[in-house]
Structure 1
């Protein structure tokens, strides 16, 4: 039989040493993602078609800024005025003219500036949409990557369990053949093997599905195998909820989207108020006349006019338009306030989950795994001398390996929650410097255990979509 105490030592001490080394090493920030994951994120940002589509829309909106602030094209026309219908002669009547005119429409004062502001707000909003979608996609890749790592760990534990049960089946068959064991022990071992084979099939299917999901997010033309993370070096973090909540309110891109909606609504309200005033259409015409019948040279004419629209139906048009824009502003404000109120609670919930997972990790690393290893070893020894039955012994061994898997589950859940926290706060933990610790262990003005940067770098500033 394999010594489960040795397995426990490898499982607990190796990660502990890695965490200690990570803490002693000169790290860039609070938490660095595995290099392979960083490479996948870079590939995502470069190749994801959805991000590229949003970026092209951003470029299109930027190009429309100058369009929004430009005047309509002037109109040029030619015509004939006062031509008699009996002869269609240009010299019969003195007022007959051949005309050339040019017209230009001028919106009421301030409308062009407001339209330009609306176009600028649309560009800023689209930029925030890109940042928010990028965060969501990075979260999807990261979560899938860590899920893939947990599935790989589950397959490893499944293989160990299968090998262990196979050995126990051989022992049970030998005991039954010698008349010292029970046939039900043989059947039980065979059933456990069947369950493990079924679990292996499901895990392999899950592994392929997760790999396909990453390939889909990266827009790869063909399926490429993706390896999950190996052993994770996880720093223990204690973050000040108020600080992280402030990050979220400052940098969360969806909050910027909602703010842009408010800004757009305010501009539209100003435009709706401007619509009560008429636009002006200036028209200048030149009329050329021929000689009359007596040969007298007739002078040409110059005409000018201004045409304005009259808001006679403002109760059905301008008033309703203004009311609609004011309602849109109220809706945008409510949406902004809703997210503004929700973000601190969401951050607090994630931080609470991170703290709980760290407690679970300390529980498993602080003796629970060692206890289950001792229990399984003790159950095996007791079974060999006939003090416990086969069922108790096999359950003890399976429980020991399942606890190892549960400990790994907490580690992967921890990294997933850190990613969720980054998405909410709109920052990258790797770019937040750890508080400096003096020789006496003090951390200066920073509260003990609180990692508080002067100003974190928003995630949307770390990788731009071109």
Structure 2
């Protein structure tokens, strides 16, 4: 009997020593885990179809800058006089014309600036998408960590219950426990096994989601840490960095694009200049000899296209002013929303840290209770109801601790999305 007690106590002590060893190893590998997550994020940004589509869209918008550098088509015409009009120098036979209209000075530059401003605004869509993708990858990564960590906790508790089951069986043999105690321990094991199976299904679903974010096969393995250690202090945050978030910068660039659009509108409302040349072939008058007989006609031309009825351009000017007011309002609304999300994320992360500290204290007290039960067993008495109660409390605290750690890092990822440059 004493050998069994000693062996059981040794097994339970090994559980605690192994847990401490795992914590030490985890601290040394924490930096490697952070690097691994960064690697997953970069992989996703390089392979995600949405990101690739936005890159192509921005490339197209940038190419439109070159499209704007054009002038109207050159007009060339030719005519043949069916009934040749007579002039002093001869009959007119053929008429050739060439004409080129030119936009007002600075119009091409205005078009180019407007296209460039639109391309700049579209680039912010790409920056926003990359940030959102990084946030989704990080949050999915931390969910996978929580699932794996909780499965490990369940495994440890199942093994512990199996050890207690052997104790109960031994106690039944010597008349210090009943078969009901054994059944209750077995039922509790079955409950934990069921919880583990549920977590396994959740892990498959989250694993598929993570791999889809990286645009790769859903069954590919993902390396996640068994434990995440919180930093001693939360980093100091500069809330003003929200103002340079791509979602807000996009509104600034859209506002600027309206300015360039109005500049282009003013250029379009200016006259267009045209330059041309007419050439008329003249036949010689027969039986006549005088200067310029049959001399061809060359006539340079200058034209001016004036938009006298310019209500269209005035309307566009009014529309541009209204659009700028709309963009200013939208930016203010989005800024308020982002700041609200940031404040909530900061407070939630603080709450998660407090919860982690509380759960660690509760876990320590539950371990003390376990020590008491083991010592009582050494003196020959054991209450398996107490064992189940303590085991259930310890499992609850450990699972809540993992959830709080996941919440802490999820909120950290959200904060990074909001304020990282």
**1:274-312 deviation line (CA, Å, top 9, x unaligned):** 44434x151413223131553741422314142415342
Distance 1:177 1:164, change over 3 A: same
How big is the shift at 1:146? 1.6
Tell me, what secondary structure is at the counterpart of 2:97?
A: strand
Aligned pairs for 1:256-335 within 5 A: 256-278=249-271, 280-292=272-284, 294=286, 296-312=293-309, 314=311, 317-335=312-330
Please, which of 94, 107, 111 is the counterpart of residue 111 of structure 1? 107
Distance 2:350 2:42 in 1: 29
8 A contact 1:5–1:374 mirrored in 2 = no
Task: Name the stretch that deviates more: 139-148 or 58-67.
Answer: 58-67
Distance 2:17 2:347 in 1: 29
How big is the shift at 1:397? 0.7
Distance 1:32 1:322 in 2: 56
Q: Cα RMSD between the aligned structures?
A: 3.6
8 A contact 2:279–2:296 mirrored in 1 = no
Tell me, what secondary structure is at the counterpart of 1:103?
A: strand
Matched, 1:411 2:392: no
Distance 1:53 1:263, change over 3 A: same
How big is the shift at 1:184? 5.2
8 A contact 1:47–1:219 mirrored in 2 = yes
8 A contact 2:92–2:280 mirrored in 1 = no
**1:134-180 deviation line (CA, Å, top 9, x unaligned):** 11111111111121111111111122232333444555567678876
Matched, 1:336 2:335: no
Distance 2:308 2:191 in 1: 79
Distance 2:331 2:33 in 1: 32
Please, which of 203, 207, 213 is the counterpart of residue 209 of structure 2? 213
8 A contact 1:361–1:411 mirrored in 2 = yes
8 A contact 1:354–1:414 mirrored in 2 = yes
2:126 alignment partner in structure 1: 130
How big is the shift at 1:382? 6.3
- Paired residues in the alignment total 406
Please, which of 240, 246, 255 is the counterpart of residue 240 of structure 2? 246
| Structure 1 unaligned residues grouped into runs of 5+ | 24-30, 427-457, 459-466
2:150 alignment partner in structure 1: 154
- Give the structure with higher Rg (CA): 2
Please, which of 82, 91, 101 is the counterpart of residue 98 of structure 2? 101
Distance 2:17 2:358 in 1: 15
1:28 alignment partner in structure 2: none
Distance 1:180 1:56, change over 3 A: same
TM-score normalized by the length of structure 2: 0.82
Distance 1:83 1:310 in 2: 36
8 A contact 1:4–1:373 mirrored in 2 = no
Tell me, what secondary structure is at the counterpart of 1:34?
A: helix
1:227 alignment partner in structure 2: 223
How big is the shift at 1:387? 7.4
1:80 alignment partner in structure 2: 79
**1:32-66 deviation line (CA, Å, top 9, x unaligned):** 86232222223223322322222222222222223
| Structure 2 unaligned residues grouped into runs of 5+ | 1-7, 288-292
Task: Name the stretch that deviates more: 257-266 or 334-343.
Answer: 334-343
Q: Which structure dedicates a bigger proportion of its chain to helix? A: 2
1:236 alignment partner in structure 2: 232
Distance 2:347 2:327 in 1: 30
Distance 1:59 1:338 in 2: 30
8 A contact 1:276–1:311 mirrored in 2 = no
Aligned pairs for 1:156-171 within 5 A: 156-169=152-165
**1:397-444 deviation line (CA, Å, top 9, x unaligned):** 122133123223322322222221111002xxxxxxxxxxxxxxxxxx
8 A contact 2:117–2:260 mirrored in 1 = no
Tell me, what secondary structure is at the counterpart of 1:375?
A: helix
